[in-house]
Structure 1
C-alpha cells in the first residue's frame, strides 16, 4: 500500500479541519430528529455543490447522495454517514449546544456528517488522480432503524462494489480506531406485548384478573429465554424498556402494555426469538387468566463485516496512524442499520475514537445528555474514509 498519497490526504485534513469542525458545530446547534432532517440535508447538499458535485436530495426521505467520478476507470466505492439526532435534552453546557429543546446530537451523527463531507472534499481536490468513482451516501433516520432500508430501496447501492462507514466511540481515545471481522454489532428487533385482564376495585382483587401482576411475571419470565434456552456462548438480550398500566392507585386496570428490545449476535438465533417470546408471554399471561397479544417487529440484522474489507481498513489505518493506534473491537449488542447495506454488498464498519486522550477523565457515553466528542476525530475520520476509498478504487481486485 503506497503511503505517500495517503499521508498527503491526512496532512490536508489537518489544514481543512477547522472548516469541518465549524460545520459540525452548526449541525449540533440545530439537530433534527429522524425523518425531519431537512435543514441538515440542505446544508449537506450545498457543501457538496461547492465541491463541484451534483447531489441528489430527497433520497429515501431526506437522504443526500453524490458521486465523484475519477479520471480513470474503476469500481464504484460507497461511503456512508448518518445525519439524525435524538430526543434528548442536552446538558453539556457547550457554547454551541443544541438550540432545539429536547433534541440533541447525542450520538455524534453531526460529526459523522462532517467527516464524510471532509472525505468528499479531500477526494474532490484530487479527482484527476482517482480511479473509478466514490458515492457519498448521507442517510437519515438511523436512530429509528428505517433510514438504510429506505436508501437501499431507493437504489443507492446500484453499481456499488463495496461500502464503508464508521461510528465515533467516546470510550476509545481520539487518534485510535477499533476493527473486527464477521459479526460486529447486534441485531435489533422490537417487541410489544399487550395483556388484557379484568379490571376492578383494588380492594377486591379476587374478582379481577390483574394484568399488572401478569405483566410483571412476563417481564421476569422473559429473562429465562436467554438464561435457560440459549447457550451461554450465544450473546442475546431481551430488555423490557416500558411498562404501562393503570392510572389510579386503587384500581386494577383492564390492560397492561410492555415494550422492549431484542438483541442477538447471529442471524440464526435472531430468527428463533419471536417464537420464544410469544410462547413465554402467552403461557405466563394465561396462567394469570389474562389474554396476551405479542407483536414482534424485526428491525435490522446483525452487522457482519467482510474480512477482506476489514483488512483493507486496517492496512489503511496502519499507514496513516500506525498499527499501535489500532485495536480489536469488543463485541457489542448495540445495533446499527449499516447492517442493511452489508446484507447487499461487502463492506466494513469500524469505530473511530472520539473520547479524551489516554489518561484523561472518562467521557460520557453515546446517548447521554452530556455526551461530547473530541473534535480532532473529525479530520482523522475524513482522512481514513478518503484514503480507504482512494486505495480501494485502485486495488479492488487484490
Structure 2
C-alpha cells in the first residue's frame, strides 16, 4: 500500500491547504452565486493539468484527472456554497463578505478535495482509471446536486463510485466517522394553508378562527411521531414558521405553516405523508376551516453503499488508524449527496474538526462555527487514498 506516501505528501501541503481554506473562508458566496469561488477552483485544477469544465449546474466546476492505465472513473464531490450568516468568530481570516459565512465548513470540503487532487496528480503515472472532481454549488438549498446530475456530471466518462466528506465539530480532529447504511435523513417540506373566516377578536363566535385551527394542527401532528411511528425508528415533524394576522384584535382569514419532515425509512416516509394528510384534514374539518397541504419531497436519505463504505473504511484505517475511526450517530440533517447515491454507489463520511482548545465546538450553521485546520491534510489524504483504492491502484507508489 502507499498510505504512508499519501499521508506524508498531504502533510507537506499543510500550509498550502491552510492558506487555500482561509482564502475561501474570507470570501464566501451564497448558493448559485459562487462565481469567484468557482474561478479559483478552476484555475487551481487547470494548473494541476486536469481537464476542467466550468459553469456546470450554473456555477459548478468539474475536473477530470486521467490516470496512466485503464480503469474505472471514481468521483470525489465537494460542496462550495456558504450561508447567509453574519460571522461572529473574531478570527483574523473571518468573512469579508458582510452577512455571508462558511458556517457549515464547505470551505474545508473544497480545500480537502483540492488537496486530494494535488496528491493524485503526483501519482498520475501509477493511477488506474480516472478521478472526477465535482465541485458542487447550492448544497444549502438542496438544488446543486440535482442541477449537476441533470447536466450529466456522472457521465462522459461514467462514474462507477462516488465519495465525499463533511466536517463534523462533534468529532475530534484526528478522527473520522465512517459507517455503512443510513447517515443523514430524507428531507421533506410541508406547506399548510388554513382558511377560516376573519373578524373582530372580541366576537370569536362570529368568525371561524384559523389561528386556533392552525395551532391544533401543529399539536395534533406531533402525535404522529409519538403514537404512530415505531419507537425504534427515527422521525421528526417540525414547524419553523407560522404566519397569519396583523393585529392583536383581528382574527385573520388565513394562516400559513411551513415545516419539515425527516426520516430514514422510505416506507415510513410514505406513511407519514398519509398520516399528515389525514390529521390536517380532520382537524380542520372539526373546527370548520378549509385546509390545503402541499407535501414536497426534497431529498432522499443518505445511505452509504456497502462496497463503497468498505473502501472508505480501508482508507480510513490507513490514514487515521483503528483508534481514529468512530461510528457516527446518524443525523436528522439532510445532504444532497444522497442524489448521487441514487445513481451510483457512494460513501459519505464525517471528518473530525472539533477542538475545544481553540473553541472549535460550535455546530454547523452557527455564527461562531470554527474548525481545527490540522484536519485539512487528513481529509485530503483520506479522499485521495479512497479514490486510489476504489480505482484498484493497489501497488506501492512514490509521490513526485
Q: TM-score, normalized by length of structure 2?
A: 0.95
The match for 1:259 is 258
Give the deviation of 1:59 after TM superposition: 0.7
> Superposition pairs for residues 176-215 of structure 1, below 5 Å?
176-215=175-214
Residue by residue over 1:122-174, the C-alpha shift from the partner in whole angstroms, topping out at 9 and shown as x without a partner, is 11122111111000000011111111111111111121110000100001000
The aligned residue for residue 292 of structure 1 is: 291
Contact 2:9/2:119 (8 A) holds in 1: yes
1:118 aligns with 2:118: no
Kept in 1: contact 2:360–2:370 (CA 8 A): no
Partner Cα distance (2:190, 2:213) in 1: 17
In structure 2, C-alpha distance between the alignment counterparts of 1:65 and 1:44, rounded to whole Å: 10
Per-residue CA distance 1:171-220 (angstroms, 9 max, x = gap): 10001001111111110010010111111111111111111111111111
SS in 1 for 2:51: coil
Partner residue, 2:229? 230
User: Who is 2:398 aligned against?
Assistant: none
- 1:77 counterpart (74, 86, 107): 74
CA distance in 2, matches of 1:245, 1:26: 43
Aligned counterpart, 1:348:
347
1:311 aligns with 2:310: yes
CA deviation after TM superposition for structure 1 residue 277, in Å: 1.5
Contact kept in structure 1, 2:56 and 2:148, CA below 8 Å: yes
Matches within 5 A, 1:1-398: 2=1, 5-158=2-155, 159-356=158-355, 363-394=361-392
Which is further off, 22-31 or 107-116?
22-31
Cα distance in 1 for residues equivalent to 2:358 and 2:26: 26
- What's the TM-score once normalised by structure 1's chain length? 0.96
Between the aligned partners of 1:360 and 1:47, the Cα distance in structure 2 is: 30
Separation (CA, whole Å) in 2 of partners of 1:231 and 1:50: 54
> Over aligned residue pairs, what C-alpha RMSD do you find?
1.4
Task: Using the TM superposition, give the Cα deviation of residue 362 of structure 1 relative to its aligned residue in structure 2, in angstroms.
Answer: 6.6
Structure 2: gaps spanning 5 or more residues: 395-400
Residues in 1 aligned to 2:56 and 2:317: alpha-carbon distance in whole angstroms:
35
Structure 1 residues 48 and 362, CA gap change in structure 2 (3 angstroms): closer
Q: CA deviation at 1:313?
A: 1.1
1:258-314 Cα deviation digits (max 9, x unpaired): 101100011221222222212211211222211111111111111111112111111
Task: Give, in whole Å, the separation in 2 of the partners of 1:335 and 1:112.
Answer: 16
Shift of residue 360, structure 1, vs aligned partner: 7.7
**Where has structure 1 moved over 4 Å in runs of 4 or more?**
359-362
Tell me, in whole angstroms, the C-alpha distance in 2 between the residues paired with 1:266 and 1:47: 40
What is the aligned residue count?
Answer: 392
Q: CA deviation at 1:62?
A: 0.8
Q: Deviations over 1:54-110 (max 9, x none)?
A: 211111121100110001111110000001111111111111111222211110001
Give 1:319 deviation, angstroms: 1.4
CA distance in 2, matches of 1:340, 1:278: 26
Q: What are the ranges of 5 or more consecutive residues in structure 1 without an aligned counterpart? A: none
How far apart in 2 are the matches of 1:91 and 1:43? 25
SS of 2:13's equivalent in the other structure is: helix
User: How far apart, CA to CA, are the structure 2 residues paired with 1:324 and 1:351?
Assistant: 15
